[in-house]
A and B are shown apart, each in its own frame.
Chain A
Amino acid sequence: MQQLRNIWLLTIKDLKLFAADRGALFFAIIFPMLFVVLFNYMMTGVMGEDSRLEINLATQEPAGGISYQIIAAMETKDATTLKPGEPKITWLRDYEQAKQDVEDKKLSGFIAFPEDFSEAVMMGYGTSLEVIFNPNNMEATAALEGVAQSIASELGASRVVNDTVISLLVEKDLFSTGAAEDLGQEIQALLARQATAAGNEMITFSTQTVGEVKAENPANFVIPGYLVMFVFFTAAFSASQLVKERQNHTLERLLSSSATRNAVLGGVFCGTAAKSLVQITIFWLVGIIFFKMNMGTSPLAVILISILMILVSSAFGVMLATMVKTERSASSIGVITSLILAPLGGCWWPLFITPKWMQFIAKITPHGWATTGFNKLLVFGGDFASVIPEMLVLLAFAIVFGLIAVLRFKTNAD
């Protein structure tokens, strides 16, 4: 009990020091906001261009199957009537030809309904949509994964198609994927109608709205990107603060009070995390209130990834403090690593527009996992389940950094 109180006292003390430090406040909160405003503005220009999502569909079913009706209903009949952001949906009549086109790189990819689709839907057993894409078309592939995941989880959730493996196709545009969200809902709605028409009670469909992710809003990836970047800056600041406390002997002085070494360590972690928590909370509030950000289909997942980011970055900060001798090296190493990891980890531009090798490198940074998670949730409309891998990896990063920090932690500067 007493040690918990001590941890609490140490945390409050850190927040007080943070609040008393104008420079730190500026770099943790005001400065990032300037970035967000600036880049949000720039990205809005980029988004404004008319670039349309194109989705190709095909079916292997014999004529008359449900998939025919679905595709027919979804197909874009008159491209000139499309509203901005609406996808152009094309029906590829010849499955084999389409496949050949993908191989020949004439087509980036398509989704095909399987031969037994109608039967599977009517009987309620599992089937899977086939995804054919050209792996060389990295942009499209990468963007698709996120989009596909959201559709897959929606279909999965409505229990029509179990173990569905989906990916989607995008030819050009990467951001107006909100349209894909519409597509997901469209498929559900159509399936639902079909099912009712057939009077098949076995198949029930959830028709709840699964969030309207407005991917046209650049804030949805600009803000999370900078949030991830700047939360690491705050960790760098915390690291130098911690080195300072070690050097000015306050850390050692704590040990002669009632605080045990573990409580001091706990207080150091919590104090660091508390600063990041304040920062991230402000980020989200500003994003939601001023940038009309949408928290996607799973705000809980957004919050959890944010919290995991706090854990990773504060563990990183404490670890960094245990590895350097001076305040100056703590802050400069902290800032440099943050600056290198941020672009590698997709904080400055979305990872899904980068080449494969960069996406691979991103995987070794916590930033990469965090931004991928945020993008899935906020840009592609993914749900909680779709970001579980990201959460687990972030947790692993936090544990590794934290363990190193705990093992190396010293209160004195000797």
Chain B
Amino acid sequence: MSEAFLAVKEIHKSFNGQKAVNGISFTIDKGEIFGLLGPNGAGKTTVIRILSTVLEADAGDVTVGGYSLRKNPAAVRNLVGVCPQDLALYEELSALDNLIFFGQLEGLSGREAKSQAISHLSLMGLTERGKGKISKFSGGMKRRINLAIALMGNPKLLFLDEPTVGIDPQSRNNIFETIRSLRDKGMTVLYTTHYMEEADRLCDRIAIMDGGKFVAMDTPQGLKRQIGDPDKVTLEDVFLKLTGRSLRD
């Protein structure tokens, strides 16, 4: 039996009386890549913001690596790395300065932060651009830096909120490979995306979320089996079947 590294129990969150997250429970095992899918406005980002301690849930319990998020948020922060959906970078600083700054905020010394920053830059294929200002970077490069920052301080659990949105196949492949190699080293990952085949290839288990609730949670194969022959249907078929065809937002 593998142990749950992240356990989420019945979390709720409303904005101005509107339920964004409506009672969600799940666990992610150590070393697992867990996919969170759902149409726009389903509540994926809200879940990640709650789990990464920047937003407080109205109700529910979360534990990470045995630490309660409510009682010991500092310990939780220490274990997690977050790649937010929106690029959160200092455009006027260099890539290296961004990485070092966030690394130091994770508790690394200046020297450790620098050496990690350099190795993450090379992981992202951006070694040459370390001294360049973010504002001069392409969208794909910014996405890769956004992810590299999440890796600073060697987190044990990664929250990746659409890390591959709006970028070319090359950049996407790079990010993809990075996540795989991290998983192989034992990293636990919560991953959201709108690219179904990406989720299919990458995730060990997937939850499909709609209107703040989970409508399904299974392995990719298991999900496909729910609607037909797993070798014939795609994850997108499952997604559309479960969440309907009406437009959101």
Contact = CB atoms under 8 A, between A and B. Distances in A.
Given A9-B105, A248-B87, A252-B54, 15 more contacts: A5-B104, A9-B101, A9-B104, A17-B90, A17-B93, A248-B88, A248-B91, A249-B87, A250-B90, A252-B88, A253-B82, A255-B54, A257-B77, A258-B105, A412-B54
Contacts of B78: 258
Interface string B26-54: 00000000000000000000000100111
B90 A249 contact: no
A256 B86 contact: no
Listed residue (A21, A255, A259) with the most chain B CB atoms within 10 angstroms of its CB? A255
A96 B88 CA distance: 77
6 contacts: A20-B133, A21-B92, A250-B89, A253-B84, A256-B53, A258-B77
Given A16-B93, A255-B53, A256-B77, A249 B86 contact: yes
Contacts of B54: 252, 255-256, 411-412
B80 A256 contact: yes
Which range contains the number of B residues in contact with the other chain? 20 to 34
Given A249-B84, A411-B54, A412-B54, A254 B91 contact: no
Contacts, number: 64
Contact of B89 (A248, A255, A411): A248
Give the interface centre of B77, B88, B97 by most chain A CB atoms within 10 Å.
B88
A260 B75 CA distance: 12
Contacts of B105: 6, 9, 254, 257-259
Interface in B68-125: 74, 77-78, 80, 82, 84, 86-93, 97, 101-102, 104-107
A17 B84 contact: no
Nearest to A413: B86
A412 B89 CA distance: 14
Contacts of B82: 253, 256
A104 interface: no
A50 interface: no
Interface of A: 2, 5-6, 9, 13, 16-17, 20-21, 248-250, 252-260, 411-412, 414
A356 B174 CA distance: 70
Is chain A's binding surface mostly helix, strand, loop or mixed? helix
B71 to A, nearest CB: 15
B88 A250 contact: yes
B77 A16 contact: no
Contact of B52 (A20, A248, A256): A256
A412 B85 CA distance: 14
A352 to B, nearest CB: 43
A4 to B, nearest CB: 13
A248 B84 CA distance: 11
Lowest 5 A-B CB distances belong to which pairs? A257-B105, A249-B88, A253-B88, A256-B52, A255-B54
Contacts of A20: 92-93, 133
B107 A253 contact: no
A20 B105 CA distance: 21
A6 B55 CA distance: 20
B236 to A, nearest CB: 29
A248 B86 contact: yes
A343 B197 CA distance: 64
Contact of B102 (A5, A249, A253, A260): A253
Contacts of A13: 90, 93, 101
Contact of A257 (B49, B84, B102): B102
Contacts of A5: 104
A9 B101 CA distance: 7
Contacts of A16: 93, 97
A21 B133 CA distance: 12
Contacts of B88: 248-250, 252-253
A212 to B, nearest CB: 46
Contacts of B91: 248
A411 B52 CA distance: 14
A412 B50 CA distance: 13
A35 to B, nearest CB: 26
Nearest to A264: B105
B133 to A, nearest CB: 8
B60 to A, nearest CB: 18
Count chain B CB atoms within 10 A of each CB in A9, A252, A257 and give the residue with the most. Answer: A257
A2 B153 CA distance: 15
B161 to A, nearest CB: 11
Contacts of B87: 248-249
B81 to A, nearest CB: 8
Contacts of B97: 16
A258 B92 contact: no
Interface centre among B53, B54, B97 (most CB of A within 10 A): B54
Contacts of B107: 2, 258
A330 to B, nearest CB: 17
